[in-house]
């Protein structure tokens, strides 16, 4: 049995896109970054804690594989999670405007015989955004629930002229890396 330990509809869509069958269970963990914690260490820790929490709920673990994931945005040394409200989304978009940043996704696979944790980093360039563009985008509601307050697969696509690395990582799950990890567990 394969379980995705995430409530993200984007992660569900991506796993379905590559033909995987899975159940979804969420894990309620504290997602607060620890003082001085590096962004890569942060997302890897959260991904592993989510996967381990869901794995621990099951009594028959012999055939269980749980995938945990967490995505964050790193800009000028600041970790940007999901915006709390519209004002926070505006703050994040202003910070990203006209700059390159990194999207970092931690992934963890937990099974009875294995525990694998990795991170994928993608560089993303954002055009210089006008206050009008930011206001209109925030008013669309799309930034809410998205790390860094944008969705590359949505309306924000027009703000991103280039990326270096895995596109699917920016959406929320580095599919090639996850697939390679799964091959070693099955």
Q: What is the mean pLDDT of residues 18-25?
A: 96
Q: Residue 185: what pLDDT? A: 85
Is the pLDDT score of 59 beyond 90?
A: no
Residue in 23, 28, 38, 70 annotated catalytic: 70
Chain centroid, CA 178 distance in Å: 13
Residue range of the domain that includes 57:
2-185
70 is catalytic: yes
> What pLDDT does 186 receive?
67
| Domain harbouring 15, CATH code | 3.90.950.10
pLDDT in tens, 136-156: 999 999 999 999 999 999 999
Contact call for residues 122 and 58 (beta carbons, < 8 A)? no
pLDDT mean over 99-119 = 97
What is the per-residue pLDDT for 65? 97
Strands 162-164 and 115-125: antiparallel
Number of domains the chain is built from = 1
Whether residue 161 is predicted with pLDDT greater than 80 in this model: the reply is: yes
């Amino acid at each position: 049995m394969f379980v995705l330990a995430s409530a993200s509809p984007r992660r569900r869509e991506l796993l379905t896109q590559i033909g995987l069958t899975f159940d979804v269970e969420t894990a309620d963990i504290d997602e607060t970054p620890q003082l001085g914690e590096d962004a890569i260490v942060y997302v890897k820790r959260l991904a592993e804690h989510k996967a381990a929490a869901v794995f621990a709920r099951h009594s028959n673990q012999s055939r269980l594989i749980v995938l945990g994931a967490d995505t964050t945005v790193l800009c000028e040394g600041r970790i940007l999670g999901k915006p709390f409200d519209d004002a926070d989304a505006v703050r994040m978009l202003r910070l990203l405007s006209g700059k390159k940043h990194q999207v970092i996704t931690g992934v963890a696979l937990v099974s009875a015989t294995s525990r694998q944790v990795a991170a994928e980093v993608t560089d993303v360039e954002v055009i210089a955004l006008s206050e009008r563009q930011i206001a209109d985008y925030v008013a669309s509601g799309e930034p809410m629930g998205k790390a860094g307050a944008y969705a590359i697969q949505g309306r924000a696509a027009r703000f991103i002229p280039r990326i270096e690395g895995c596109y699917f990582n920016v959406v929320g799950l580095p599919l090639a890396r996850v697939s390679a990890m799964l091959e070693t567990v099955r």
